[in-house]
Amino acid sequence: MSVGGIDTSRIEAMVAQLKATAARATPGASPLGDAAQKTREVAAPGEFTSILKNSLDSVNRAQQSATALAQRFEMGDSSVSLADAMIALQKSSISMQATIQVRNRVVSAYQEIMSMGV
């Protein structure tokens, strides 16, 4: 489904990825989560912040890794192929684009909430 030029299925996939990352970061949590986690109505304080930070750190690591791989290829490292460098660069680009789309959606939702009458 597309809302305002943004594919909501991608945003939902990103949210699912953020939840999976948060589950991995939480000690003792299963990757699929249990019924209590799924039915929670209120998130723990700071949970959104940690999920967001983990996601941004992941994007940053992907970009740094891709840049390093591309530099190694440019310097003539025979263990790095052009295909590996290009794939890493595209993965980092896609993750950055997804992050920007999520940011845009959050800003849009914030603006909509702020424009509501009380």
| Pairing, β 6-7 against β 2-3 | antiparallel
Structure confidence at residue 50 (pLDDT): 87
Query: What mean pLDDT is predicted for residues 73-102?
Result: 93
Q: How confident is the model at residue 18 (pLDDT cuts 50, 70, 90)?
A: confident
Q: What digits encode the pLDDT tens for the residues 25-67?
A: 655 544 444 444 443 455 576 788 888 899 899 999 999 999 9
| Cβ–Cβ under 8 Å, residues 67 and 96 | no
One-letter amino acid of 9: S
Give residue 29's pLDDT.
Answer: 47
- Higher per-residue confidence, 117 vs 60: 60
The neighbour count for residue 2, using CB atoms within 10 Å, is 9
Assigned token pair, 87: 């794939």
Which of 8-22, 54-68, 98-112 shows the lowest per-residue confidence on average (mean pLDDT)?
Answer: 8-22
Write the CA distances from 5 to 10, 17, 51, 91, 109, integer angstroms: 12, 21, 25, 22, 15
47 compared with 94, residue with greater pLDDT: 94
Q: What average pLDDT does the segment 4-9 reach?
A: 65
State the pLDDT at residue 3.
53
Torsion sign, CA atoms 98, 104, 106, 108: negative
Contacting residues for 4 by C-beta, under 8 A, at least 6 apart: 108
60 vs 16: CA distance, rounded Å: 19
The 8-class DSSP code of residue 31 comes to T
Token representation of residue 47: 């949970």
